[in-house]
Structures are given as C-alpha cells and as structure tokens.
Structure 1
C-alpha cells in the first residue's frame, strides 16, 4: 500500500513583524485522509500561520 500523498507542506516557515517573531521555523506535512487541528495558547502564531496559508501574509523565511 502506498503512502498517502501530501496535500499541504509547510517547510521551515517564519514570520516576523518588526522585531517580534510571530512564527518561528514551523514545518509540517498534512497528508490525504488526515485530520488537522492547530492548537496553542494566545499569541503563539496560530492566526499568523493560517493567514500565511490563506495568502494574506507572506512568510519571511521558508516555503508553503
């Protein structure tokens, strides 16, 4: 049986706003037939990551 294909790949993505680092080098793959939840405390970069995935923000480093 083959491994499910990757639908979304996030590779070492970082986002800074001035001197504040909102997202720091996150990497993950979301594959076919997987469920994904983005959990974390307030101010940890969840919304910034989602905004980058949607194309509203551009990563300073890395690749989506």
Structure 2
C-alpha cells in the first residue's frame, strides 16, 4: 500500500497501524489509536482520502517506504 486509512478499531487495527508505520507507509486515522505522532488525523472519510492522495503524490520520498519503482 502507498498509504492506509485506519478507522476506529481494536487490536487488529493497532497491529495494521504498527506494520504500516514500521514499513514507513503513511497512516491517516479517523477516531483510531493515538499511539504515534506519525498518525495523521482526519475528521471524516473525505478528508482522510484527500490527505492520503496528497501524501502519495507529493511526499512519498519523505516516507521512504515500499514503493513501486519504474525499471
């Protein structure tokens, strides 16, 4: 994934957030775990998707996560 959106959640969501952050994949959260300052907060789904697309297109180099690279 280029980014994930975490919505609410229990321990499975926490696990997915942890894996994403460890892989340097941006995490946008809506009413979810507050375990890291790296989780970007959003108030609603529209805002979350907008932030995800913005991060993917403008800031992917800053995250250094797993990316599909052209040969």
Q: Normalised by the size of structure 2, how large is the TM-score?
A: 0.28
Of Structure 1 and Structure 2, the greater strand share is in: 1
Q: Which has the larger radius of gyration?
A: 1
Of Structure 1 and Structure 2, the greater helix share is in: 2
Higher RCO structure, 1 or 2 (CA under 8 Å, sep 6+): 1
